[in-house]
A and B are shown apart, each in its own frame.
Chain A
């Protein structure tokens, strides 16, 4: 696999205000990359730098080996883009907007364009200013997909879409992935990223704090093991074991609840010395992991060390 999107020490500030700071990552071709972060974290700044709408202070961004600033026009032949806040001529109808952008792209496959319009059930005869938020989003999504771009850069693409259209969007992304196209999407909706993406990057205060496959990110996790025993057991038996962060006894020593990180091998071996009645392990959702990255004390630093 080769990297189709690369950033290297990408930094951007707005006057004295922080935008992003030394953001470095790679997205492999054919990957669906989720760019996660809360509002103001720097997601849109990164995307606008990739789109050549902003010029980096330092660092570089490349798409398909082309410099995002110097060769931006060449890059845009390859890209479909959805901005975070769709702003288009309010007096044009949805159909006119799609036709305009089709012309600007040098023409698109009309059959596929009509197919997309059908899939999103878009009424193309209404003026853009008359559309609901969701319908505005549909127009912008269709224009991003209509030329079957090699790379899709989508800034919070499902914001305002109803669940049915979100499903349609998920299917489009899945189809793009199956066709080997690359999708870079930003979101603060964790379930969306967990469902759609193969790789995830988490940005906080303008810095990339975490990047890896969804499975990797979830592997470096905190989870909880709860065990009950036929007899009261000493909770101290589990303290200090590899992977154990906290131990809490309950039911007068008949049960322990362990906060875990990493492998559970030592815990299982220690538990084998006692008559185990039940053992449950609760997996964290990506949501739990994500939220922990935004804890005030920056708790995940410990986890971040061993990750790509």
Chain B
């Protein structure tokens, strides 16, 4: 059955994302319920929570945040960007990606109209989004039941459907954009940019009085008009209908344009919008610094991702340092009413949660996690290069395999160090700007101390890539990250033995913001990283390339 039509075949391709995204995003929604359920024990705590939420009112509507459903709806306000990633990528790949690969040519050689092929694919995408929405609804309902929420099954399902609808609009936008771009990634990039603009537009009316008309230009605004997890607020039928209409308009327009343009080409835009005619060039040399060696090329490849991850990691560190003083009083009384959260912060942060440094220390533990996630994405690039044959010609040049591997690893290590240093700079500047007093040495330890952890996961990835294909390598590293995170963040609360806690590299990172750099531990992590890299190099110089 799954290969009986383009619709079913496309749906078959989506089943892993349906399960992964549906359950994963469902858990993202449930997690704030889990954290807040222990906080809502006293009226004072509820009051503090509402007050704290009001601080972030620019982010999402503060509606019944002292209920599980209201708090979850509030918390995932900013996560709409995360949730829209899959439909954005899938829709930009749906036609344009297949055109790039040439697979659409084969499909369109079948005796069926082009419009029907595209329609079946779009229908499969919508079906997948609906299935994801239903799964999210099911997970949210289960979570709500577990933590004692007051919303029902139909509310949870409506919540999922509302999410699916805004995702369908974003997907439709990506599909439409891809009719005007030559490459899938360009369409995805433009749509992501538009999504950011929509999120900001939606925020405008919460910050600037009488500016609701601006926010109405954003589909995210109409998504936020329905809050099914807050039974007293309910669903805005008009907004739901508008999202459906927008999805249809974007989808139908995209297909209409697709049916009229060249395959592999783009919709013709007015002359003044077209890029200038490019004359063929045979000029050399191009004198690009990143072409001088394997290391320099590695730096060139990693430069752009490093920029974005630096903005994320250093920006997050700077923001939390800047904001922590403003939240001090509220956090203090909030945490004092919840011994569980207090213990959690103390276990992770290594200090008193009611003190800025203690809270910051707990939050800073997230930084190495982010840096390690960055390293995982870059290791994926290395193993994919080998798998796709991109190392063959490099190794056909008189470059020792060891040089190639170490050159690429050194580029990743450089990027890791840059992120660490810029995080330190951002945190120090934020502390100075907000008047927060932090021990400079400890701040340096907390930010630079995450570098060995990034190098550790990278070297383990390089080692594993000696045997594993790219997807398996990345899967293994992601699994390790999750396990380590779980051991370090949940283990102490569950009173796990010290021997188990020592299995996680986060243990060796310690709580440097409070206690300084645990030099012996850091050296231990570096030693393990060097060992893993050494074994990885040994394997790489002896292995069959691309097998």
Contacts and interface: CB of A to CB of B under 8 A. Distances in A.
Contact of B278 (A102, A121, A125): A125
A295 interface: no
B280 interface: yes
A239 interface: no
A125 B397 contact: no
Interface in A30-56: 48, 51-55
Interface stretch (A87-95, A169-177, A205-213, A224-232): A87-95
A104 B296 CA distance: 11
B294 interface: yes
A96 B397 contact: no
Contacts of A123: 280-282
B542 A53 contact: no
Contacts of A89: 297, 301, 390
B448 to A, nearest CB: 31
Of B292, B293, B394, B544, chain A has the most CB atoms within 10 Å of the CB of B544
A101 B397 CA distance: 7
Nearest to B282: A117
A88 B393 contact: yes
Contacts of B395: 51-53
Contacts of A103: 291-293
B414 to A, nearest CB: 18
Contacts of A88: 390, 393
B145 interface: no
Interface in A70-109: 73-74, 76-77, 79, 81, 83, 85-89, 93, 95-96, 98-106
A263 to B, nearest CB: 46
B262 interface: no
Contact of A124 (B282, B288, B396, B543): B282
B389 interface: yes
A205 B393 CA distance: 26
Given A54-B547, A125-B280, A73 B400 contact: yes
Nearest to A100: B291
Contact of B389 (A83, A98, A104): A83
A81 B393 CA distance: 7
A122 to B, nearest CB: 7
A99 B281 contact: no
A113 B390 contact: no
Contacts of B547: 14, 54
A164 B280 CA distance: 19
Contacts of A182: none
Interface residues of A, number: 45
Interface in B23-55: none
Contacts of A292: none
A125 B284 CA distance: 9
Interface residues of B, number: 37
Of B100, B398, B544, B547, chain A has the most CB atoms within 10 Å of the CB of B398
Contact of B544 (A54, A102, A105): A54
B546 interface: yes
Nearest to B388: A87
A10 to B, nearest CB: 14
A95 to B, nearest CB: 5
A32 B394 CA distance: 25
A9 B347 CA distance: 63
A248 interface: no
Contacts of B388: 87
A18 interface: no
Contacts of B292: 103
A140 interface: yes
Contacts of B287: 99
A104 B280 contact: no
B392 interface: yes
Contact of B398 (A14, A99, A106, A121): A106
A118 interface: yes
Given A53-B396, A73-B399, A76-B399, 17 more contacts: A51-B395, A54-B544, A54-B545, A55-B543, A55-B544, A83-B396, A87-B392, A89-B297, A95-B285, A95-B286, A99-B291, A104-B293, A105-B398, A122-B282, A125-B280, A125-B281, A140-B393
Interface of B: 100, 182-183, 278, 280-288, 291-294, 297, 301, 388-390, 392-400, 542-547
14 contacts: A14-B547, A53-B395, A53-B545, A55-B543, A76-B399, A77-B398, A81-B396, A83-B389, A87-B389, A88-B390, A102-B285, A104-B293, A106-B398, A121-B282
4 nearest A-B residue pairs (beta carbon)? A87-B389, A123-B280, A125-B281, A104-B397
